Chains A and B, each alone.
Chain A
């Protein structure tokens, strides 16, 4: 099935640095969701975006719903060791209950 194009595929950063990742699609979505997954666990919802242009924060995390409805961005400020994991974006369209997932961004923090 379709997957969203998520970049970068992986990131190696030092503690305290800011992180940016994005998700793009060739078609429009009505809802964008950002998840974090740790090894051996299911994805945990971080931020949900429901409106084009919306900017939403959750602690050190900020996500934006692109104006074109074809992209979304997630930023993490002042990274800490517990931010390590895989971050997935996911999109939803009206009338379709199925999620379309991004390919994931693996975040590693270098001590």
Chain B
């Protein structure tokens, strides 16, 4: 299956700053990338679907101006949490699909202080 590399694994930032999370497909080119958010002891919740070369599609209730997604190439998608606040602290995970299934990055633990 596809190998997905996500960075950073952990980040602590001050309230009001922005944080960029990168997700790379190392052995698979994908036109679509999925971004999830996971709160403690909960399942993964889809935030948005990013499409290479076009605008991302956001799930209901997810602020597109808050969570900026860029999918500039077939192997790289980025999620930027803008003007982060403590309530944005969470575990963010990217995912690629291939014909065999869905493969996830290692996740990024964001803590906003």
Contact = CB atoms under 8 A, between A and B. Distances in A.
**Best-buried of A40, A102, A106 by chain B (most CB within 10 Å):** A40
Interface stretch (B66-74, B77-85, B103-111): B103-111
Interface in A1-54: 1, 3, 31, 33, 35, 40-45, 48
Which of A31, A42, A48, A106 neighbours the largest number of chain B CB atoms within 10 Å of its CB?
A42
Q: Give the interface SS of chain B, mostly helix, strand, loop or mixed.
A: strand
A103 interface: yes
A42 B37 CA distance: 11
Contact of B105 (A33, A42, A90): A42
Contact of A102 (B41, B43, B46, B106): B43
A1 B59 contact: yes
A40 B107 contact: yes
Given A43-B104, A45-B1, A97 B44 contact: no
Interface residues of B, number: 27
Nearest to B103: A45
A98 B49 contact: yes
A97 B45 contact: no
Nearest to B2: A45
B68 to A, nearest CB: 20
Nearest to B32: A97
A42 B42 CA distance: 13
B76 interface: no
Interface in B88-103: 91, 93, 95, 97, 100-103
Interface of B: 1, 4, 6, 9, 32, 34, 41-46, 49, 59, 91, 93, 95, 97, 100-107, 109
